Amino acid sequence: MKQLFLAIALILILTSVTGLIQPEKNEVSISGTDVFSIPVKIKNESGEKQLIHLISKSALKTEFAANDFYLNSGEETEIAFHIFPSYKTGVYYIELRMQYNDITEYSNLDVRIGKDTGSIDVRYFRQNVCQNQLDKLSLWIKNETGTAQRIKLSAESEMFMAVIEPNDIDLDAGEEKFVELEISSNKSFPLDEYSVTVYIESDDLIISKQVFFDLIECIEIQREFRLTAPADITVRKGETERVYFTVTNLDDKENEIEFAVRGKLKTELQQTKTVLAAHETRKYWIEVTAFNDTEVKTHLMELYAFNPFFEQRKTFDVSVRGIHETKTSLLNNELEIERGHSQIFTLLTENKGDFREKISLNFDELENINTHISETSFYLEKKELKKVYVSVNPAITSELGDYSLKVEVDGKELSLNFKVIEEKNPLKTDGVIEFWSVPEKITLNSDEKELNIAIKNISGEKIENIVFWIEGLPDGVSFQSEILQEIEKEKTKTITGKLFLDKEKAVKGNYEITMVFENSEFRQKKTIELIVLEEEKEAEKKEEKQEDSWFSSLAGFISLGSGQAIGLIVILVIIIILLLNPGQTQEKKGKTTWLNYKRGNKIE
């Protein structure tokens, strides 16, 4: 009897040994368009000579170098497997099959085509599928490409009817979502392990994924209740949204049902347990809260209703929306300002929201106080910070005492408080800066014109917070300039300003304007001519006339005697030296901020 059992065991062992099909690698990447080949090991592990048949299954075009051949018992060989990468970027699943004598062996190969620019991640939890029922598996889809994608989903199986719902979704970069894979089977299917191929396709790539499951025999459970809830909701950051769901008792007797919620967002259930009479329906709510630091994206939330005999789950897509929020704070206040001098207040404006914001600033005029404010209108990207400078300059005739300048930033008012005191040291009016490049005449015909003024620090020490503004501007003309944070001694920097023209309000003519450069210790001025709305032809003639005068002068110099010619050469050499002087380089160290001049009473 023992010998009989040993013989049967030996027969079972021999017949259970079949064959081997194994690629050199289970994952390969292809970046070019040439045919890619990989060796696949084939071995006959049966007890006799076999006719081997090789096939492959994939969305890609593939082929074996040979599909049918004989292998003796225990013999192995390598067959080249060719992949034709004439497809869009993506990750593809290839199933390799080795068939002989009614036996099939399987292996697989993952192929990435194109550069790795991110992918769409597909995950699932290994689950059982009930035989002779319509069952569902949850698939988790995440967009990791870095850009928004419209994704089409499909499923393929030789044995099962497989459908994905929803089969068309939009995912932002980094967004994730659950979908359901529905699998239908009947009683004729053997209880075993199976797989379904899932395809995820977008405009940029295609991915295939094998989803494995076990087909098992299930006892059909009578549904005891029904849970109904919305598929998606929206909640803004910093707010709480109430979501309603209903539960219906399908039983002919009283039913006790419990509720639970799973997800990363803060949630609160109206109640966690209920008792329903036979066939009774009730409505309950869940409160979902998004905090100010909650990520703006679609979050997943699951609601469970269950009792000891039955469970039902509903999945929500909770879309968290961004907010509009800005904050402006005053970095310095309660300043003392001497008559005739100036001080600078610094405001810090922050976009704390999730959108690009336009910031507007307004301020009131104070008698005998001149005020300069940085850009009265600008944009801030989300999470961006910007400093805004307000220069306050009491006239020499201003009354002593406390003042408060009201500045409105996006509807919120700030009070800039300062005290005007007696002048201790008169402002220096010369010997602090030297003008290196100042136009004698400016023509303003277009909507805006940039001014670049090079100034040199000749004070013998570092100068800080230099304000540039213009006195005597006519109607329809405004000016913005920058605060120059600092100039080291004997250095030259360029301070930039812009003239703006309102053609509906401006009056054509020639005006005398005064450029003012100052800080709390000095004020120097330069008067120039401003020509507003000069006709273009007239301006062109003047330019041509000026060019002609240059050529005439040059011709005159050429015709001079030798002594005068030497003088001309000396002048030209001096001009070249000045142009190449490193001190004239237009340095811009440190951050500069535009200033907008709002005229008050003229300072004498």
Phi then psi dihedrals of residue 267, to 5 deg? -135, 155
Instruction: Summarize pLDDT for 110-160 with one digit per residue, the tens.
Output: 887 766 556 788 887 667 788 887 788 888 888 887 788 888 999 988 888
Bigger pLDDT: 78 or 377?
Answer: 78
What pLDDT was estimated at residue 580?
A: 54
Residue 539 confidence (pLDDT) above 70: no
Q: Report the distance separating Cα 135 and Cα 180, nearest Å.
A: 10
Q: Do domains 16-113 and 225-321 have the same CATH topology?
A: yes
The answer to whether residue 540 scores a pLDDT higher than 60 is no
Task: Considering only residues 480 and 16, tell me which one the structure prediction assigns the higher pLDDT.
Answer: 480
Q: How far apart are CA 390 and CA 598, in angstroms?
A: 11
* pLDDT for the residue numbered 269: 92
Q: Which one, of 198, 202, 245, lies nearest residue 226 by Cα?
A: 245
Residue matched to tokens 């989803």: 211
Task: Please tell me the predicted confidence (pLDDT) of residue 125.
Answer: 65
Predicted confidence (pLDDT) at residue 547 exceeds the cutoff of 70:
no
What percent of the chain shows pLDDT beyond 90?
A: 20
Q: Specify the pLDDT at position 405.
A: 92
CATH of domain 326-421: 2.60.40.10
Segment 239-264, tens digit of pLDDT: 999 999 999 998 889 999 999 988 88
Q: Which residues is 198 bridged to in the sheet?
A: 155, 209
What does pLDDT average to over the chain?
80
pLDDT tens sequence across 292-313: 888 888 888 888 888 877 888 8
Q: What is the DSSP letter of 278?
A: T
Going by the DSSP 8-state scheme, the letter that residue 506 receives in this structure is: -
- Please provide the DSSP assignment of 380-412 as one string: E-TT-EEEEEEEEEE-TTPPSEEEEEEEEETTE
Mean pLDDT (whole number) for 401-415: 90
Residue 86 is predicted with a pLDDT of: 64
pLDDT band at 418 (very low <50, low <70, confident <90, very high): very high
Write down the CATH superfamily of domain 225-321.
Immunoglobulins (2.60.40.10)
Model confidence at 221: pLDDT above 60: no
**CATH code for the domain defined by 120-216:** 2.60.40.10
Q: What is the pLDDT of residue 603?
A: 29
Averaged pLDDT, 351-380: 85
Three-state SS at 549: helix
Q: Mean pLDDT, to the nearest integer, of 322-329?
A: 89
What is the Cα–Cα distance from 213 to 178, expressed in whole angstroms?
A: 18
Is the pLDDT reported for residue 290 higher than 70? yes
CB count, 10 Å around CB of 545? 10
Per the model's pLDDT, the better-predicted residue between 420 and 535 turns out to be: 420
Q: What is the mean pLDDT of residues 73-91?
A: 82
Measured CA distances, 418 to 365, 369, 397, 399, 415 (Å): 14, 11, 16, 12, 10
DSSP conformation letters of 242-284: EEEEEEEE-SSS-EEEEEEEEESSEEEES-SEEEE-TT-EEEE
CATH topology for 433-538+584-598 is Immunoglobulin-like (2.60.40)
- For residues 537-553, give the mean pLDDT: 47
pLDDT value at position 40?
Answer: 93
As given in the structure block, the two tokens for residue 234 are 């929206």
Give 523's Cβ-side CA count (13 Å radius).
20
Domain layout of the chain by residue ranges: 16-113, 120-216, 225-321, 326-421, 433-538+584-598
C-alpha distance from residue 244 to each of 43, 241, 303 (Å): 61, 10, 11
Q: What topology is assigned to 16-113 in CATH?
A: Immunoglobulin-like (2.60.40)
Residue 529: its pLDDT value, please?
A: 92
Distance CA 137, CA 125 (A): 8
What values do phi and psi take at 15, rounded to 5?
-75, -20
Residue 110's pLDDT is: 82
pLDDT for res 559? 38
Distance CA 50, CA 99 (A): 10
Kindly tell me if the per-residue pLDDT of 558 is higher than 50: no
In the prediction, which pLDDT does 87 show?
Answer: 62
Per-residue pLDDT at 204 exceeds 80: no
> What pLDDT, on a 0 to 100 scale, did the predictor assign at position 116?
56
Instruction: Please say if the pLDDT value at position 543 is more than 90.
Output: no
Q: Let me know how long the chain is.
A: 604
Q: Is the pLDDT of residue 557 over 50?
A: no
Query: pLDDT tens digit string along 504-532?
Result: 888 999 999 998 888 888 889 999 999 99
